[in-house]
Structure 1
């Protein structure tokens, strides 16, 4: 068994059907997961998410015996300008994701920080404000569903792709209660510093994703990149972080057959630092 604070995202085994991925995670010795609900990245949650799909996923999770820390989802480009029909569709999808989050007993739904593009749709200021407004609205809906709303506020491939833009978004979200998910790989890939990120956002960090990276490449196994996990985890401890961590090993440097062993090795290393 690994420390209770260290979980494993189902995205780490996205090539397996959900029940098999959950068995793999449990057999490795983890006690909790993050549940991937990202169509095109991880199909463990159906793209067409209705009540029956929520019940199926919740039943699979319950049968596994694993706890769920968060559901990692997406409701589309939060800086996009939507018409009324598109807005209704987003709201319905968000409500189903929140229903799923509650059904699996997760603490929070995680949403991204804008479109998969560094270039704003209108201006950077307008787009960041739009993302913040969408997250604030989602946070209110989450509270009504009995869960929290977190945002991976620095994502190398999305609008808020570096520390400066993550700070802009955080400023817009001041006082809203939206938590920050810190991801070592996205910070390092963007040229940022996990220690500085931990110190800057210390009072907002609700969850931490662990994967290695080099500049421009987030898809590396822990130990194969430039992330200084020891210093970053120490900075989180100094900042008073008491939350959980999740190995999100959506790596490209191992085969599917090697993934369980790579996850076990990563968990052993991170456990030695906690």
Structure 2
């Protein structure tokens, strides 16, 4: 029914428990998902993740037979200053997320681009260096689990919140195996242009998140929580740009929207999927 490269993030149905969310997405006709593992955003994966929890979540995810494209996780602020014990705790959490990705057959683990704060902890240069180093370290660990490591290199609420900072991060990741996740909503909310983003980062884009947004004004911040069609993202132009550069990766509806009720959410997801399918 939908394009075979178009999936749906479990974040779209974060109000449901994981098993119900999977049933909802499968019932709508999706065959592929992204698994949300973001504390405070989507609790489908517990933040305190041990081997038993990994097995439990994997069993729930694998039961419906849906393909998992990525696990969208978080191991803490990658630009935070850590002592040895804190780094060890982060590495343990990373290992559990990678184990979950491997056990669910995911292609990659996705990590953020820094703390939920535009202001650096030290200096912008030092903080972006720290984020890049942590991502490259995570990428090396990911190889041991047979999965890739991607980062949402532009996130409107995090350290790398606009195209300029996404470029600084990408420059430091050059030559590494860290891939980039392109998110239409964060690009638009920051005042950026999806076509420009594709032009800059096409060689590294591995996955694409789809949600609508409006950019900031003098009176209002940018809004990333809009259903497709209710914002200003030019999906036709952005998807055409991806097609022109030969993008062969997949797409995911990440409908963390606040302009529909929970009851309206399945129909809104199906409508968005049909619209995007026509554009892909």
* TM class, shorter-length: over 0.9
Q: 2:247 aligns with which of 241, 244, 248?
A: 241
Matched ranges for 1:262-273 at <5 A: 262-273=268-279
Q: Does 1:196 align with 2:196?
A: yes
Give the secondary-structure state (helix, strand or coil) at the position aligned to 1:16: coil
Matched ranges for 1:155-194 at <5 A: 155-194=155-194
Using the size of structure 1 for normalisation, the TM-score is 0.99
Which deviates the most, 9-18 or 49-58?
49-58
Deviation track 1:125-174 (CA, whole Å, cap 9, x = no partner) reads 00000000000000000001110000000000000000000000000001
Match of 1:91 in 2: 91
Matched ranges for 1:119-158 at <5 A: 119-158=119-158
C-alpha distance in 2 between matches for 1:110 and 1:272 = 27
RMSD: 0.5
C-alpha distance in 2 between matches for 1:61 and 1:233 = 29
Give the secondary-structure state (helix, strand or coil) at the position aligned to 2:209: strand
Give the secondary-structure state (helix, strand or coil) at the position aligned to 1:160: coil
Using the size of structure 2 for normalisation, the TM-score is 0.97
Deviation track 1:52-80 (CA, whole Å, cap 9, x = no partner) reads 11111111111111000000000000000
Give 1:48 deviation, angstroms. Answer: 1.3
Following superposition, which runs of at least 4 residues in structure 1 exceed 3 angstroms of deviation? none
C-alpha distance in 1 between matches for 2:22 and 2:272 = 18
Q: 1:219 aligns with which of 225, 239, 250?
A: 225
5+ residue gaps, structure 2: 216-221
C-alpha distance in 1 between matches for 2:39 and 2:115 = 14
Give the secondary-structure state (helix, strand or coil) at the position aligned to 2:263: helix
Q: 1:230 aligns with which of 225, 232, 236?
A: 236
Q: 1:257 aligns with which of 251, 254, 263?
A: 263
Give the secondary-structure state (helix, strand or coil) at the position aligned to 2:63: helix
5+ residue gaps, structure 1: none
C-alpha distance in 2 between matches for 1:105 and 1:5 = 16
Give the secondary-structure state (helix, strand or coil) at the position aligned to 1:109: strand
How many residues are matched? 274
C-alpha distance in 2 between matches for 1:48 and 1:131 = 22
